Amino acid sequence: MTAEPFVTSSLPADIDTQKLPRHVAVIMDGNGRWAKQQGLPRIMGHRRGVDTLKKLLRTCNDWGVGALTAYAFSTENWGRPLEEVAFLMTLFERVLRQELRDMDKEGVRIQFVGNLQSLPASLQEEIDRAVQQTQSNPGIRFTVATNYGGRQEIVQACRAIATQVQRGQLAPEDIDESLFSHHLYTANLEDPDLLIRTSGEMRLSNFLLWQLAYAELYVTDTLWPDFDPTEFHRALCAYQKRHRRFGKV
């Protein structure tokens, strides 16, 4: 990514601040197809995808969205060709190293969710550095799901809770939704209000299975590298027309 000057943009006039999602989650799909359409190797799609994510993060921060969570790498993505996996790991590391200073200056608080212990050691170091350096920042909370799987997250929460019960630290009747949520990677985050998925696929793909229970879903045919602030504005307009009932009438 190239260094750009910080240009802040204000919330479009037709978006009601009262109806702004507090937490937006994104499944960034279509990088490979975008690259193919351009006659480029798949990895170029991921590179462009980083630019899109960076722009969306800044837009969310400028417009007053409190949290953005992005699905960068799923537990299933290890099944991709070795070179692509290696490229993605190096890309995450390089992006973190290059962008940390700017994100820190803009007040972004970064965190990572997923099974981070299986990531390359050098990436884990960059992650630790980014998390530590930005932990007291006042701006948007930016969560990157890396080596993340929703089912795996639920299973590890069950194990942790079961261990507490086994040790006599917890009674089964103490287990409720709130306690369970606190054993998920996202314990410190409110559930997403809006999930955006690009490239037209109508799936959750093992992303935030518990946390998305009441999220509004927005799927667009636009491929991730083309998902610009105008597209995000469109998603927000659709979101604020929804009537959120949370199962009530």
Q: Which phi and psi (to 5°) does residue 73 adopt?
A: -160, 125
Site string for ligand FPP, 93-112 (x = CB under 6 A): --xx----------------
* Smallest distance from ligand FPP to CB 18, Å: 30
Cα separations in angstroms, 143 against 1, 96, 113, 187: 20, 13, 7, 12
Nearer to ligand FPP (CB atom), residue 23 or residue 46:
46
Nearer to ligand FPP (CB atom), residue 77 or residue 156:
77
Judge contact between 247 and 55, C-beta under 8 A.
no
Nearest-angstrom CA–CA distance, 15 and 72: 28
Cα separations in angstroms, 217 against 55, 196, 204, 213: 21, 6, 10, 10
Site string for ligand FPP, 139-178 (x = CB under 6 A): -----x----------------------------------
* Contacting ligand FPP within 22-41 (CB under 6 A): 28-33
Number of H-type helices and E-type strands within the chain: 7, 6
Q: Which of 77, 90, 115, 181 lies at the binding interface for ligand FPP (CB under 6 A)?
A: 77
Site string for ligand FPP, 5-24 (x = CB under 6 A): --------------------
Nearest-angstrom CA–CA distance, 110 and 49: 18
Query: Any idea which residues carry the catalytic annotation?
Result: 29, 77
The site for ligand FPP, by CB under 6 A, has a size of 17
Residues interacting with ligand FPP, by CB under 6 A? 28-33, 46, 49-50, 53, 70, 72, 77, 92, 95-96, 144
